Amino acid sequence: MVFLTGKSLPRRTFLRGVGASVALPLLDAMMPAGRLRAAAMMAGETRLVCIEEVHGVPGCNEWGAKQHLFAPSTTGRDFELADGNVLKALEPWREHLTIVSNTDVRMAEAFEAAEIGGDHFRSSAVFLTQAHPKQTQGSDVLCGTSLDQIHAQRFGQDTVLPSLQLCIERTDKGGGCDYNYSCSYTDSISWASPTTPLPMIRSPRTAFDMLFGAGGTEGERALRRRTHRSILDWVASEVADMRRQLGATDRERVDRYLQSVREIERRIERVEARNTGGEPRELPEAPAGVPDSFSEHMKLMFDLQVLAFETDMTRVVSFKTGRDASNRTFPESGSERAFHPSSHHGGREEGILEFNKICQYRTGQLAYFLKRLQETTEGDTSLLDRTMIIWGSPMGDANLHNHRRCPLVVLGGANGQIAGGRHLKAPDGTPMANVFTALLHKLGHDDVKVFGDANGVFSL
């Protein structure tokens, strides 16, 4: 650990031990006296989270739209979220919520006869690229550079991890998927270039080790786990040395942060112990560190994102919360139906409402993330105010494999760039890429004139 002489602690301070490297959150000691507020703002470049929801939502079919299961009945600031709206759980954060309805993702549609029916197997690749994938099962994949990677390539290079790609369901099928599409299109939403999809991390343990195990070998990390020693045990002397040089406020902040790190570590350990205890698993194909509970898995991944942002290890995260055509069930939602079959509800009211139970449950997990970001501060501002969260789907009505009138929501304050608290309805035929172009401008990419199939810039 290195201190700058006399006055301040470097922002990139790590507590280092054997097989462990723990970054620190923003502290007062990292700022020269009298410059705390200005320095905190300089350190608070906008964080970006892009979250894909596969299969669209029930509010994007004809009957669901009339029930306002996604788009509210009115536009502007005075919108109301119906009880059945998939965003209802986010009501407490409505001032950080911008709903954008009625945008199309036409690049996910079939362009040629051979592509008809393959919507599930190209949609994910389209979401953040807004580009049409080349139909192939070989290595000659071709799509576009994704929005998150455009941001990471410009603003993520001075962080330890330029970007972090996370997922909930398996993405290890490899080779070819159905309808003559490479599984690369189904498995990733992040593309570093039109020919380079990035792998997504499913295991909380793997993500944890990326954030806190840098600097050691896999053997050292395995030893730490076998001996049941916390990652904090390996940096204990460094923590003690550092605390003696911090003020009371910073000591409290560091203690609270390290408690969060240890709590997440314990939760991962409990999952691993439970899943190797011999009891039948709900997800028998999943690694030991992957929770069977969707909610537990989502919370772990959200908490890891908060820690990554708090320590400025990365400022860009893409998060794929499902896999197209998945037959997973969600007992906690109150529905026993599998996800993919329930999305093919035939336009029947009963089936739509059953699918809506699942979608409300899945989308409701965002409330936990928003709460964690709001209660985590950087300087005198919450991480929620410093973050732009893009949540949406490249599919509208999954029953028809329709890519029109797709759901899109922007959350967070984005360092003052997003006003929030509004429902904006796009004119018919508006590409979602028009909104993404506007969001790129809000993120500092004013030189991006056209993104994907954009034919203009949507006013936010």
pLDDT in tens, 192-237: 999 999 999 999 999 999 998 644 566 666 666 666 568 888 788 8
102 torsion bin: left (phi>0), alpha (psi -120 to 50), beta (else) = left
Instruction: Tell me the C-alpha distance between 323 and 338, whole Å.
Output: 13
Question: Residue 11 is encoded by which pair of tokens?
Answer: 């922002």
Instruction: Tell me the C-alpha distance between 25 and 198, whole Å.
Output: 27
* Domain edges within the chain: 1-43+213-288, 47-202+290-442
Closest alpha carbon to 300 in 291, 310, 313: 291
Q: Which residues of the chain have pLDDT under 70?
A: 1-8, 12, 18-19, 32-44, 172-175, 213-229
In this structure, the strands spanning 387-392 and 406-411 are antiparallel
Question: Residue 104 is encoded by which pair of tokens?
Answer: 């199309």
* pLDDT (0 to 100) of residue 126: 98
Q: What are the DSSP calls for 244-280, one per residue?
A: TTS-HHHHHHHHHHHHHHHHHHHHHHHHHHHHTSS--
- Name every residue whose Cβ is closer than 8 Å to that of residue 54 and which is 6 or more positions away in sequence: 120, 123, 124, 320, 321, 322, 323, 324, 326, 393, 395
Strands (E), 345-417: 377-378, 381-382, 387-392, 406-411
* pLDDT (0 to 100) of residue 32: 59
Which homologous superfamily does the CATH classification assign to the domain defined by 47-202+290-442? Alkaline Phosphatase, subunit A (3.40.720.10)
Q: Is 220 exposed, middle or buried (0-12, 13-18, 19+ CB in 10 A)?
A: middle
Q: Are 128 and 147 in contact (CB under 8 A)?
A: yes
